[in-house]
Amino acid sequence: MNKQIIRFFGVLVPIFITVISVSCAGGGYKGHQGPKQVVAVSLFTNSTKQKLSKDFLGALTDQFMTELIKSGRFSVVERQRLEEILKEHELGMTGLLKTSDAIQIGKLLQAPYIIIPSISNFSAEKNQLLDDTVFGYNRINIKILVNCRVISTASGASVGAANAITDTTRNIVRVSLDTQTSILKYGGSFEDLDPAVKEELMKAVKIMTQDLYRQNF
């Protein structure tokens, strides 16, 4: 009897581990079949009322590019290469919106598609609910809206779009006096963000990528 139980778990455990591995590796994406699509990704544009630094937008863009690669569907042109091409041709990111420029840049990068992401809403306000000299208790309200458009470099037309909206309230216990109440006081640096805010940003980027992944273009 004991030998049968050991043999049963000897078969079951490797299967269980395999299922977990496949599930984790997928990251919420179904297995992509066929060749990967080459895409170039522009720097996130800031359409919010916040003064977000270029470093902040660059870090957000890197997160988006990482998610695209993890999906297994896309092969992403290095952002530095795109920026070099734009600089060489004296174009800003807005130049990607012009049909002739998008087609030209796509040929130079050998990328059939250019993805233009933007952040349209971003607020993270803290409300102090309990405060003393040692411990504090914050409620942080986080609102985020990110979106993107996909432009075909063959025609210059928009062939896809995706977005993600989050509106979350998080309760945070802190072990030091922190009087910061607005995202503006973080200095606009991605790395200096409250971990809860950073987590919500990454979550929004992932949701947008999953939306994009499901589209046909």
Q: Assign residue 81 the CATH number of its domain.
A: 3.40.50.10610
Residue 12 included in any domain? no
Residue 98: inside a domain, yes or no?
yes
Identify whether 16 is part of a domain. Answer: no
Distance CA 50, CA 52 (A): 6
pLDDT at 136: 58
How many domains does the chain fold into?
Answer: 1
pLDDT at 90 over 80: no
Nearest one of 49, 50, 44, 46 to 188, comparing CA atoms: 50
Say if 154 falls within a structural domain: yes
Task: Please report which confidence band the pLDDT of residue 126 belongs to, taking 50, 70 and 90 as the band edges.
Answer: confident
Tell me the residue length of the chain: 217
Please check the confidence at residue 62 and state whether its pLDDT lies above 80.
yes
Q: Specify if 25 maps to a domain.
A: no
pLDDT at 19: 32
H-only helix segments in 52-194 = 54-70, 79-88, 99-109
Domain membership of residue 21 (yes or no) is no
Q: What is d(CA 173, CA 139) in angstroms, rounded to the nearest whole number?
A: 9
pLDDT confidence band for 115 (50 / 70 / 90): very high
214 vs 1 pLDDT, higher one? 214
Looking at residue 173, what is its pLDDT? 60
The Cα–Cα gap between 93 and 118 comes to 11
Give me the domain span that covers residue 93: 34-213
What rounded mean pLDDT belongs to the chain? 76
pLDDT higher than 60, residue 214: yes
The whole-model pTM stands at: 0.76
